[in-house]
Structure 1
């Protein structure tokens, strides 16, 4: 089997395992995966316009509106008017949302520590470089 075919199958298997783990973790918190993804993007990049958030997540503003409505009901995010653009709405994490993001981020870090525990520092550097390049290709 050629290398690209093996890599293809390995990436698919990794994605499926990671997705399963992620779904289990998120479900325990009473959230959906897209809701948690919204918290992650806001936790990493901080408050932003709805349009920018939708673009960063690769979804429509209509889909994002439904997600933000649900997260606002759960008091994880809040909307506020943009200071200089009356047409724009800013979405940001509440204290509860920030705490949920930080807890989830710690779970991710622990998972990465476990998954890479047998890799050398050099292998971790190479893995980071490869994943970064792959992310940049999207």
Structure 2
């Protein structure tokens, strides 16, 4: 019999694969790449960010992010603006079109979360939230 840790490992990998597949299916028809959608999600959830902070959250270099942000500026999803208190920093923020895309994509995530936890009690949802926060804090 497999250990609890081994079972948990396989369940987490399976969940990741299913969530990634779902994300790919949702994104494929809207004309944007998955990294662009992830950038929109981060900016939508956190507000304008410095390029360095955004690159760290996405897990890419600032050079890679610069190329992606150039494309997103051209697609009118984000805008660059100078930082108010640090002249050396550039902030990236969602445009109105980027905010609309964020709201649309966030609604899909909310719907998926509702579907996945529909059979959970309120207490189970609170417990899952606590576990997920603890897992995220470890990254």
Shift of 1:84: 2.7
The match for 2:69 is 68
Q: Distance in 2 between matches of 1:42 and 1:26?
A: 17
The match for 1:42 is 43
Q: Distance in 1 between matches of 2:20 and 2:59?
A: 17
TM (norm. structure 2) is 0.96
In the alignment, structure 1 segments of 5+ residues that lack a partner are: none
Shift of 1:85: 2.1
In the alignment, structure 2 segments of 5+ residues that lack a partner are: none
Shift of 1:86: 2.1
Deviations 1:79-117 (A, max 9, x none): 112223222111000000000000000000000000000
TM (norm. structure 1) is 0.96
Shift of 1:72: 0.8
The match for 2:94 is 93
The match for 1:124 is 125
Shift of 1:55: 1.6
Deviations 1:113-135 (A, max 9, x none): 00000111111111111111000
Alignment root-mean-square deviation, CA:
0.9
The match for 1:79 is 80
**Which runs of at least 4 in structure 1 moved beyond 4 Å after TM superposition?**
none
1:28 alignment partner, SS class: coil
1:86 alignment partner, SS class: coil
The alignment covers a number of residue pairs equal to 138
Q: Distance in 1 between matches of 2:123 and 2:86?
A: 47
1:4 alignment partner, SS class: helix
